[in-house]
Amino acid sequence: MHDSHEHIEDNGLKARVLKGTGVNIAKCYQCGKCSAGCPVNTEMDFPPSVVLRLLQTEDPLLEEKLLRSYSIWMCVTCEMCYGRCPMEIDIPKIMDYLRERSLKENKVNPKAKNIVKFHKAFLDSVNYTGRLSELGLIADYKMRTFNLFQDVALAPKMIARGKLHFIPEFIKGTDKLKSIFSKTINKK
């Protein structure tokens, strides 16, 4: 699974991706098939193959650009790139890694703030109740993003169809969950 590659000791992003995900970016020969199949290619400032290219350069400036890019947040993890890559490079895994780094080094692209906020809202809801409460999520998300009017039309229809619960259900192991969160994403 992991391509071992002892020669790389430097702590450039390419090397860190290898350490962190076991994916060897040097394998990519830039055929572009990933970008060709990517459903959100046009939304991205750097399509997948370009993301890999940027990593291949091992140029700190370009790596910086990448961590601050919108692409890594636009990726919907549909796995199409991975599924068709002739070199079987796990690009979604790389994207996950880059997002995590971008967040840790708080270099999240301004345009991607909403996406991140949504994910955070989602996880907070899970952290809080153990499960996702859609109403809670939507509300929380709106508070974070302040676009209060998006989807207002949706909520009532959902309620009418019994799809929104006002009282979120709590699982018994919420404390367990909290400890999981504190040991991972909320680690100080």
CA of 12: how far to CAs of 6, 61, 62, 63, 184, in Å? 14, 11, 11, 9, 24
Distances (CA, A) of 177 to 32, 171, 181, 183: 41, 9, 6, 10
Pick one of 148, 152, 154, 159: the residue that binds other proteins (CB under 8 A): 154
Taking phi first (over 0 means left), then psi (-120 to 50 degrees means alpha), and beta for anything else, what does residue 47 get? beta
The CA–CA distances, whole Å, from 42 to 38, 45, 81, 99, 111 equal: 9, 8, 15, 19, 15
Q: Does 179 bind other proteins (CB under 8 A)?
A: yes
Q: Which of residues 9-28 bind other proteins (CB under 8 A)?
A: 20
Q: Which is nearer to other proteins, 7 or 172 (CB)?
A: 172
Among 4-12, 59-67, 91-99, which window interacts with other proteins (CB under 8 A)?
Answer: 91-99
Using the rule CB under 8 A, is 152 a contact of other proteins? no
Does position 139 bind other proteins by CB under 8 A? no
Question: Least distance to other proteins from the beta carbon of 34, Å?
Answer: 8
141 binds other proteins (CB under 8 A): yes
Give 166's contacts (C-beta < 8 A, 6+ positions apart).
Answer: 135
* Smallest separation (angstroms) from other proteins to the CB of 11: 18
- Per-residue binding string, other proteins, 41-80, x by CB under 8 A, is xxx--xxxxx----------------------xx-xxxxx
Length of the chain: 188
Q: Which of 26, 115, 139, 155 binds other proteins (CB under 8 A)?
A: 115
Q: How far apart are the first and last CA of the chain?
A: 31
Kindly state the tokens that stand for 59.
């140029």
Query: Strand ranges (DSSP E) for 38-157?
Result: none
State which residue, 1 or 61, has the beta carbon closest to other proteins.
1
Residue among 5, 10, 40, 152 that touches other proteins (CB under 8 A): 40
Q: Return the residue of 26, 56, 134, 178 that touches other proteins, per CB under 8 A.
A: 134
> 186: which DSSP letter?
T
